[in-house]
Amino acid sequence: MPAMLSRKGIIPEEYVLTRLAEDVPDHPRYRARERRARFVGKNGTCNVAHKNIREQGRFLQDVFTTLVDLKWPHTLIIFTMSFLCSWLLFAMVWWLIAFAHGDLDQSTQQLLGAPAVEFVPCVTEIRSFTSAFLFSIEVQVTIGFGGRMMTEECPAAILILIVQNIVGLVINAIMLGCIFMKTAQAHRRAETLIFSKHAVIALREGKLCFMLRVGDLRKSMIISATICMQVVRKTATPEGEVVPLNQIDIQMENPVGGNSIFLVSPLIICHVIDKNSPLYDVAPDNLHHHEDLEVIVILEGVVETTGITTQARTSYLADEILWGQRFVPIVTEEDGQYSVDYSKFGNTLKVPTPNCTARQLEENRSILDSISLSPRGTSRKRSIRLKPKFSIADEPS
């Protein structure tokens, strides 16, 4: 009845929802909107599921990459089965050669005590499939215990010996190369590149800036390191087309020009929010978990010790961006060298910041006169786990 009256406009809909909640307090009929799904996880993994792929054969056209991309249990199973199947296949071939040449009959007669005759087998000491399997293993892995050996009696057996050695070398090259690539993958190095758990927005030189901190836990450097950021959000074109994951590049402020960084100590990566920024109309009220906003950060460079290109990624949802905060300094000079205190890596400091968008600040510069720009503020500690999978950092200016 109340719902019917609400549809007719007789009573407000808010009153109907309130009454329903009072009638059934333990079983609410509606719930708050869930948090926005991430496009890129904090550890850099992409939250995208590929479904209904009809052209599965494309993966087999690049077998090596497919093997490297497999999970370790699957890789180890394929590694074991590739050798086992090749041993069994050639064991069957050796057994057929011995059977066709009569080696098995001669061995049986000798075991039964028949009079010895001059007979030269293709492979000595092959009496059954088991012995053929053992000889196959000896040939392919070059063990050679000395009990079984080739003779000059069968040219076909010599040809099979050559073929099995070539096949064994190919399997060794592919599988060992795959294992090496899996253990030396570039994302292993990225686990020691860390990002701050939160990003901040504060004033810098009179302009609102989006800032995050990135750092490297290893002493070996990342050469030619570059960093870029993108905003991912749902947009609609003037023609009515809805783009669910529109990726918009945003620029960083770098004194040397470009996006290259010298990542010896933690750095603070700064993006000035101007009229060309996708964050131009973002206000403090927009930084909540309902907001359709995600900032993706990508750090890429060459590992100094291996020469392999590595990439580390993270993202910040709207509620992970702190308004009116800045990172506390963590680099100090001690005993003639610079020291980095990673226990303060994610700590922020509250600073005076106007509660308006960058557009409003640019249009009305008098807003800055109404706030105190004193450097003093309240320190706000952000406890983060310095798990290599989670972060990347930057040094405060």
Contact 215, 267 (CB under 8 A): yes
Give the range among 25-39, 57-71, 95-109, 278-292 with minimum mean pLDDT.
Answer: 25-39
The whole-number pLDDT of residue 35 equals 62
Question: Per-residue pLDDT for 194 more than 80?
Answer: yes
CA distance 271 to 253: 6
- The rounded distance, in Å, linking the Cα atoms of 84 and 64 is 19
Look at the block and give the residue holding tokens 């406009």.
9
Please report, for residues 101, 103, 116, the alpha-carbon distance to residue 113 in angstroms, rounded to integers and kept in the order given.
Answer: 20, 16, 8
Nearest to 249 by CA among 196, 296, 201: 296
The model's pLDDT over 106-134, given as tens digits with 9 standing for 90+, comes to 766 565 555 555 788 888 888 889 999 99
Separation CA 237–CA 288 (nearest Å): 25
Residue written as token pair 């798990």: 387
- Whether 266 shows a pLDDT value over 60: the answer reads yes
Bigger pLDDT: 292 vs 395: 292
3 state DSSP class of 297: strand
AA identity, residue 6? S
List pLDDT tens digits, range 275-326. Answer: 888 899 889 988 887 788 889 999 998 888 878 888 899 999 988 999 999 9
Q: Say if residue 328's pLDDT is above 90.
A: yes
pTM (predicted TM-score): 0.65
pLDDT digits (tens, 9 = 90+) for 230-262: 898 888 888 888 888 888 888 766 544 456 788
Q: Are 354 and 204 in contact, with CB atoms under 8 Å apart?
A: no
Residues in the chain: 397
- Least confidently predicted of 166-175, 183-192, 382-391: 382-391
Task: Work out the mean pLDDT of the chain and round it to a whole number.
Answer: 79
Query: What does the pLDDT read at residue 112?
Result: 52
Are 366 and 386 within 8 A, CB to CB?
no
Tell whether the model's pLDDT for residue 145 goes beyond 80: no
